[in-house]
Structure 1
C-alpha cells in the first residue's frame, strides 16, 4: 500500500493530531465513519484485512452505526495505509475528530457494574450469615458460633464499604468541600458509623451488629443508580455523533494553479480553495468564481438554497450546489462561522440556570436526619451513657435515605422507558423536571413545524400536450426512489400506482436519473434535469424541481411548505395548557407570517440569527418563564443549548441533537405532549415517594431512638420501604397516553 496515494494528506502532523488519540500504552487510536459496509462477508474480509496489517492490535466495527475504532502502533503503520485497507474493500472510511473517541461512558458503566456486582454478592452472603444470628433470637445459638458468623459478616462487608460504597464516600467529600449537604453525606455517615459500630461490637463480642443492613443498603442504592445510568446512556447514544460542520480537508490551489489536499486547519487568509459540487465549504471567505447556489439551511435557517454572486461571502459548513466554486479564504479554523456557532451553543448551555429544587430538598432531609441523630445521642448521654452510641447508630440505620434516594431513580427509569416506547428519547433526565413547568415554547419553522408540500395547481407543464397529472405520475416514480424532502413531497402528492424504475442513478444535491416506461428521465434542479438536452428554462422560485427527458423539459413542480400534520394540534394543546408559543425562523418575513397564521401563532419573528433566537429565550427567562426550544438545524443549537428544555426531531442535524434534552425519534411533534404528561406524573410520583419516606421516618425513628429497633427489624423496614418506593415508581406513564395522539 502506498501512503502517497489518495489518503496521503493524512500524513500531515496537524491533521493527524485532530483525529488520532495517543494512548497511555504508547499505541494510537482512531474513530472512523465507514460507508458502504452492508455485506456480512465484506465485514469479515475487512476485519481480517485490518488485523493482518502490521501493528494493529484491536478492531471494533459497528456496521449499523457505520463506525469503526482501531488501535494500532503508529510507528509500524501510517494512517493512510489504514485508510487504504478500507478502500480496498470498497468501503470508504473517513476519520472523525479525536473528541469522538470517548471512553467516559463505557468506563463509567463498567465501573458502576463492577461495584454493583461486588455489593450484590457480598450482600447475599452477609444475609446468609445474618440469618443464623437472627435464629439465635428465638432458638439458642452458642456464643462461639455467633461470634464466628459475626467475624465472617465483617470480612464479607469490608469490600462493600471499601470498594462498592466509594461513589457515595467521594460524593460526600465533595458535598463537604462545597458546603452543600446532600444525600451522599447521609448515606456515607450511615455506612461508616454503622459499619464502625458493628466492627466495635464484633471485636468486643457484645452489642448489636448491622453488617446485613450496611451491605443491603449499599447494594440497593447502587442498583438504583446503575439502572438510571443505563437508561441515561442508552437515551443519550443518539447524540454522540455530533460533528463540526466544517470538513477536515480542503483543496487549495498552488501558485501554478494546481490543486493540493491540505488540512482545513492549515488554511490562512488569502488562500484560494476549490469546493467540488456538493462539497462543504471548509472556511469563511469570498466567492471568486461564477454565481453558485448554496444550501445554508444548517447555519442560517433558510428553507431554500440561496444564490451567491461573485464577490459575496460564503460561510463554513454550507453546501455548494450545482457547479464547483472557487473561494478566497478570510477566516478558518476556530474563527469560522461554524466554530463560533458551536462556541455560542456551549456558552448557552453553561449559562443555563440549574434546577436546585431536588438539591434543596435533599439538603433539608440530610439536616433533619443529622439533627435527629444528634438529639438521640444527647438524650441517651443524659439517661444512659452506655447506650448513646448504639441508639444514634440505630437512628441513622432506620432513617437512612434509602427510600428517599430510590424514589427518583426508580421513577425516572420508568419514565425513560415509557417515553422511549412512545418515540421520545430523553438524553437529559433532569430536563423532565423542568418540562413539567414549561410555560414558554420557542419553535423553529423549516423542518420543525413545516414540511415541503406540492399544491395541485403548482405543476407547470413545459411542453405542449403534457398533462400535469401525467407529469406528476412520472415524477412520483422517481421521487419514491429518494429520501430527499423535495422528492418525498412529489411522491406524497401522487396517490396512485407508479411505473417501475430501471437504471436508477442519484446525483447528490442535484437530482435523480432513471428509465421509466422506456424513456430516460431526469428529475431535480433545472441545470441537472436539462443537462442532456442542452435546453434552458427560466429561473423559477426556490424549491422548483424540473422533470425532463433527452428532448427537453416536461414540467416544473413549484414546491411550497405545509405545516406538519400534528403541528396545529400540538401547538393548540400547549396553548390550552398555559404555554406561550413563539415562532422564530431565519426565513423571510412573508414565509414566516404565512406559517404563523396557518398555525394560530400570535408571536413570531423572521430573519432570526442563532444569537437572536437565544436572546428571545433569555428575555423570556428574565420574565420568569421556564423555556422550551424546539428545532432541527445546526442554527438552532445555541437556542437548544440555552433553553431550560430542548427538543429536536429525529431528522435534525447532529449538532442540534447534541444539544437536545429530548429527541422526537418518530419525527412527530405530539411527542412533546406525551413527554409533558409523563413529566408531570413523574413529579407527582417522586413527591409521593418522598412523602412516604418522611412518614416512614416519623413512624420508625422514635422507636429507633428509644432503642427498640433490633438489626433484623431495621433490615426488614429498610427493604420494605425501598420495595414500596420502587413499585410506586412503576406507576409512571399509566393513563398518560392520549388515544387521539397515539402513534
Structure 2
C-alpha cells in the first residue's frame, strides 16, 4: 500500500473533499515545491490531463493548489500520486480551508476590476467617436445613440464595480467619520448622475468615459494593495497547512493504525516516519531526531531534538522514525495558535486605513475645496461649475494619501514575517520606531538556563537521579525556562511518573502530585511553605524540591546569555535607547548577568507588580517603552508597555499580551523589527509628502477649469500606484543596524 492509499477511505476523504452541485468535488492542497515556474507549468499540465479534471488553480505565494474534478474518473490517491510524479508532493487540507476568505475577497476584487476594465474600454470607444465629431456630420440622432451606448455600458461599472466604494461610504457615515470611500463615492455618483441627466435631455456634456476610467484605475490600485496584503499573510497559512491530517497511532498491541490527526488525544503514542510532518504537539520518546521547524520559527537549519523534548505539529522529521507521546492536537497545537495570531494581525491591519485621523482631516479639506470651487464658478460661469468641481473632487481624492499607511504597513508586516517576527498589532510598529527605553526580563529572555547533574544536591536521603526524576515530572508540565532546563537534564532517562493536579504559582513555582506525593518545586520560600521549615543553607540561589516533610533536593541551575543577547543590547544602546533589566532572581545572580551584558540599570527580586511599576515610572518620565519577556509573570509588564515583545517559546499568557512574537527564539528579531519600523516611517512620510505635493500642484489647475475629469482620474490613479510601488522599498536595505559609537543612551532619573 502506497503512502496515499489511506485517502481511499471515505471517512478520511470526507475531511478534505467538498462536494459541488455539478457532481464534482473540490480539494485544496498545500504544495511546497512551487518556486520554479517551469515546474509549476508542468504540474498544471499534468493535473489538467487527468480524467475528470475541470479546473486547476495554483496560488504560488500561499503554496496552495485547488482542483475541481470528478472523483469517479480519478480517485483521490491517484490525484496525489500524480503530484508526486510531477515533483510537487501535495498535502490535502481540511475542506473548510477551501472557502478561504482571502481568496474570495481577491476573486471578488478581480471580477469587479475586470468588469470595470472591459466596460471602460468600450465606453472609451463610444466617447472617441463623439469627441472627434465624426457623427456630427451625419445627424444628432446618431450622436445621441452613442451617448446612450455610453450610459448603458457604464452602468455596470457604477452599480457593480464601484459598489465597494458606496458600501464603504455608507459605513463611514454610520460611524460618523470621514474616510477614503466618501469622496470616491460622491465623485462617481455625481459624474454618472449628471451624465445620465444630460443623456436624457439630449444636450450637455457627458463623462461616462471619465467615471469608468476613474473606477477602473482606482480598483486597479486597490487590487495591487490587496495582493500585497494577502502575500504577507501566507506565512500564517503555511504554518497551519503544514500540520498533516493523518497520523499513525500505535495500538495497545503495538500495531499501527491510520487515523485523522484531529482525532488524536493527549497520551496517544504516535509513530512518525522519516520525511513526514509531525501531526501534533508532543513529547519525543525516541532517542533523538533532527527536525526542520522553518515554517514555525523561521530557523532554516535542522534542529536536534532528544528524548523528553517537545516536537511541534507541522515540523518535518529529517531523521527517523520517531515515537511521540501526544500532548496537543487540532486547534491547540502551536501551529494553529500561530495561525490564529497571524489572522488577528491581518484583521487588525485591514482597519488601519479607515482609522487614520489624518485621512479624515484630508477628506474634509477636499470636500470643502470642492464646494468652494463649485461656488466660485457659479458666480463666474455657472456652465463650468459642475465640471470644475468634479475635476477638483477627483484630482484631490485622498486615495494616494490614504493608501500610504495600509500599503506600507502591509509590506513591513510581510517582511518581518519572513524574518521570523510575527506582529500581532500592526500599530505597534509605528511606536517601536520611537522607543527609547527597553525593560528586559532575564531568565529565558536574555539568558538560557542550564542544569549540570553534578549540581544536584540531595537533602534527605534520595539519590540525585531519583530527585531529578521527581522534579522533572513536575517541570514537564511547565513552559518556564527554568522548568525546561530541569526537564532537559532528565531527558536521557524515561520518567517513571507523570505529575497530576499541577498548579502554577506565578513567579514562585509549581506544585502537584507525583507518585502519590504532593511536591513543591520553585523558590525556597514557596517550596517550604507547606512544611513550615526554614530553607537550608544549600538552597541558597537554588531551585528547591520539597514536600510536606521538608526539602528533598536543591538544583543549582547555571545560566548563560543567549548568543545574540550582547549584540542586540549593544545595538540598541548605540541607537540611543536605554536598557534595563528586571528579574525575580536573587541580587547576586542578576548583578552577575547584568555585568556580562553591560547593563547598568538592573533590579533583582522583582515581583510582576514591581516590574510594572518600574515601567510605568519610565513612562511618566516621558519615555516610550518596550517590554521583552517570555513568562506568565511578565504578562502585566508586557500589557503595560507601549510596545511588547515575547519569545514564541514563552507561555500562553505572555504571547497573548505581546505585540511582537520572536518565532525563531532569537533577540535579533527585535533589531530587525526596529530597523523595518524606521524604514516604514520614512517611506510613509515620503509617500504622504508626494500625495500632498501632487495635490498642491494639480488642484489649482483643476479649480480654474484646465483639468478635465478624465485627466484628473488618470493623475489620481497614477499617484496611488506610485504610493503602492514606493511601499515595496521597505525591507530592501540590510536588516541589521550598525551600532553608532557616537550615540549614547540618555540618562534615566528615577
TM range (shorter): 0.5 to 0.7
Is the contact made by 1:249 and 1:261 (CA closer than 8 Å) also made in structure 2? yes
Is the contact made by 1:252 and 1:261 (CA closer than 8 Å) also made in structure 2? yes
| Shift in CA distance, 687/603, structure 1 to aligned 2, threshold 3 Å | farther
| Shift in CA distance, 185/141, structure 1 to aligned 2, threshold 3 Å | farther
Find the residue that maps to 1:242 and give its secondary structure: helix
1:261 and 2:258 correspond: yes
Q: For residue 22 of structure 1, what is the aligned residue in structure 2?
A: 19
CA shift at 1:189, angstroms? 1.9
| Shift in CA distance, 103/26, structure 1 to aligned 2, threshold 3 Å | farther
Q: For residue 213 of structure 2, what is the aligned residue in structure 1?
A: 216
Q: For residue 308 of structure 1, what is the aligned residue in structure 2?
A: 308
Q: How does 1:659-698 map to 2 (within 5 A)?
A: 671-672=672-673, 674-689=675-690, 691-692=692-693, 695=696
C-alpha distance in structure 1 between counterparts of 2:726 and 2:84, whole Å: 52
Aligned partner (choices 427, 432, 436) of residue 430 of structure 2:
436
Q: For residue 521 of structure 1, what is the aligned residue in structure 2?
A: none
C-alpha distance in structure 2 between counterparts of 1:40 and 1:689, whole Å: 36
Q: How does 1:238-637 map to 2 (within 5 A)?
A: 238-243=235-240, 247-268=244-265, 273-274=270-271, 305=305, 307-308=307-308, 324-325=322-323, 327=325, 332-334=329-331, 355=352, 358-368=355-365, 391=385, 394-400=388-394, 402-409=396-403, 434-438=428-432, 439=435, 562-563=563-564, 567=568, 570-572=571-573, 575-576=575-576, 578=577, 597-598=596-597, 612=630, 616=634, 619-620=637-638, 622-623=640-641, 625=642, 627=643, 629=645
C-alpha distance in structure 1 between counterparts of 2:147 and 2:562, whole Å: 75
Q: For residue 472 of structure 1, what is the aligned residue in structure 2?
A: none
1:231 and 2:231 correspond: no
Find the residue that maps to 1:251 and give its secondary structure: strand
CA shift at 1:166, angstroms? 2.7
Find the residue that maps to 1:308 and give its secondary structure: coil
Find the residue that maps to 1:252 and give its secondary structure: strand
CA shift at 1:72, angstroms? 2.8
Of the structure 1 ranges 150-159 and 33-42, higher mean CA displacement relative to structure 2 is found in 33-42
Is the contact made by 1:571 and 1:581 (CA closer than 8 Å) also made in structure 2? no
CA shift at 1:73, angstroms? 2.5
| Shift in CA distance, 34/267, structure 1 to aligned 2, threshold 3 Å | same
CA shift at 1:405, angstroms? 0.6
| Shift in CA distance, 593/28, structure 1 to aligned 2, threshold 3 Å | farther
Of the structure 1 ranges 360-369 and 411-420, higher mean CA displacement relative to structure 2 is found in 411-420
CA shift at 1:168, angstroms? 1.6
Uncovered stretches (5+) of structure 2, i.e. residues with no partner = 449-490, 494-559, 609-627, 739-750
Of the structure 1 ranges 201-210 and 48-57, higher mean CA displacement relative to structure 2 is found in 48-57
C-alpha distance in structure 1 between counterparts of 2:78 and 2:569, whole Å: 54
CA shift at 1:317, angstroms? 7.2
Aligned partner (choices 188, 193, 199) of residue 191 of structure 1:
188
Superposition CA RMSD, Å: 6.5
Find the residue that maps to 1:71 and give its secondary structure: strand
C-alpha distance in structure 2 between counterparts of 1:719 and 1:88, whole Å: 49
| Shift in CA distance, 209/31, structure 1 to aligned 2, threshold 3 Å | closer
Is the contact made by 1:49 and 1:85 (CA closer than 8 Å) also made in structure 2? yes
Is the contact made by 2:119 and 2:157 (CA closer than 8 Å) also made in structure 1? yes
CA shift at 1:727, angstroms? 6.0
C-alpha distance in structure 2 between counterparts of 1:441 and 1:51, whole Å: 56
C-alpha distance in structure 2 between counterparts of 1:269 and 1:729, whole Å: 48
Uncovered stretches (5+) of structure 1, i.e. residues with no partner = 452-524, 528-558, 653-663
CA shift at 1:437, angstroms? 2.8
C-alpha distance in structure 2 between counterparts of 1:591 and 1:12, whole Å: 59
Is the contact made by 1:56 and 1:72 (CA closer than 8 Å) also made in structure 2? yes
- Post-superposition Cα deviations, 1:492-529, rounded to whole Å, max 9, x if no partner, equal xxxxxxxxxxxxxxxxxxxxxxxxxxxxxxxxx999xx
Find the residue that maps to 2:204 and give its secondary structure: coil
C-alpha distance in structure 1 between counterparts of 2:412 and 2:99, whole Å: 28
CA shift at 1:196, angstroms? 0.8
- Post-superposition Cα deviations, 1:599-657, rounded to whole Å, max 9, x if no partner, equal 86968999x9x99568857744544x1x26476x57699877865566767x99xxxxx
Is the contact made by 2:672 and 2:735 (CA closer than 8 Å) also made in structure 1? no
| Shift in CA distance, 695/424, structure 1 to aligned 2, threshold 3 Å | farther
1:95 and 2:92 correspond: yes
Find the residue that maps to 2:259 and give its secondary structure: strand
Of the structure 1 ranges 67-76 and 421-430, higher mean CA displacement relative to structure 2 is found in 421-430
CA shift at 1:215, angstroms? 2.7
CA shift at 1:740, angstroms? 9.0
| Shift in CA distance, 63/593, structure 1 to aligned 2, threshold 3 Å | farther
Q: For residue 658 of structure 1, what is the aligned residue in structure 2?
A: none
Of the structure 1 ranges 591-600 and 223-232, higher mean CA displacement relative to structure 2 is found in 591-600
Is the contact made by 1:231 and 1:416 (CA closer than 8 Å) also made in structure 2? yes
Find the residue that maps to 2:398 and give its secondary structure: helix
C-alpha distance in structure 2 between counterparts of 1:725 and 1:10, whole Å: 48
Is the contact made by 1:217 and 1:402 (CA closer than 8 Å) also made in structure 2? no
C-alpha distance in structure 2 between counterparts of 1:614 and 1:565, whole Å: 24
CA shift at 1:191, angstroms? 0.9
- Post-superposition Cα deviations, 1:419-447, rounded to whole Å, max 9, x if no partner, equal 99999789999987652331277999999
C-alpha distance in structure 2 between counterparts of 1:602 and 1:405, whole Å: 47
Find the residue that maps to 2:239 and give its secondary structure: coil
CA shift at 1:200, angstroms? 0.8
Is the contact made by 1:423 and 1:671 (CA closer than 8 Å) also made in structure 2? no
Aligned partner (choices 58, 69, 76) of residue 72 of structure 1:
69
| Shift in CA distance, 357/88, structure 1 to aligned 2, threshold 3 Å | closer
Q: For residue 167 of structure 1, what is the aligned residue in structure 2?
A: 164
1:154 and 2:151 correspond: yes
C-alpha distance in structure 2 between counterparts of 1:242 and 1:109, whole Å: 21
- Post-superposition Cα deviations, 1:559-582, rounded to whole Å, max 9, x if no partner, equal 996329974664345x42x58688
- Post-superposition Cα deviations, 1:685-713, rounded to whole Å, max 9, x if no partner, equal 34424544764698578x5xxxx648x64
